[in-house]
């Protein structure tokens, strides 16, 4: 089973919260997260359970015009 993190397949072995996934990924702060193209507020990571096939996007600040 897989989930997709920033467009890349990522092994997924069972029930896991978004918070647990982010702990393993340890993205540098600051970041924002979308699950299946919907924003997940930072206070909701613990209650957000992932399923196989879910798509997670983690974004960071970057330069822009």
Partner 1 sequence: MKGREIEDQLTLYGRSSASRLLLGTARFDSPSLLAHAIRAAEPAMLTVSCRRQVSSSKDSGQSFWNLVRETQRPILPNTAGCLSAREAVQTACMARELFQTDFIKLEVIGDEVSLQPDPFGLVEAATELVKLGFKVFPYCTEDLVLCRRLMDAGCEVLMPWAAPIGTGQGPRNAAALRELRQRAPEIPLIIDAGIGLPSHACQVMEWGFDGVLLNTAVSRATDPVCMAGAFATAIQAGRSAFLAGPMTVQIAAVSSTPEIGRPFADGQLESARTVDSDSNCRLPAQAFL
> Contact residues for partner 1 (CB under 8 A)?
6-7, 27-32, 34, 37-39, 41-42, 57-65
Nearer to partner 1, 14 or 26 (CB): 26
Nearer to partner 1, 14 or 63 (CB): 63
CB of 22 to partner 1, least distance (A): 13
- CA-based angle 39:41:58, to the nearest 5? 55
Structure tokens at 16: 């896991």
Nearer to partner 1, 11 or 61 (CB): 61
Q: How far is CA 44 from CA 30, 32, 41, 49, 64, in A?
A: 16, 12, 5, 10, 28
């Amino acid at each position: 089973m897989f989930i997709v993190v920033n467009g890349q397949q990522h092994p997924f072995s069972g029930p896991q919260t978004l918070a647990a996934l982010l702990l393993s990924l340890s993205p540098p702060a600051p970041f924002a997260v979308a699950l299946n193209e919907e924003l997940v507020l930072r206070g909701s990571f613990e209650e957000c359970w992932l399923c196989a096939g879910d798509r997670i996007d983690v974004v960071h600040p970057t330069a822009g015009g």
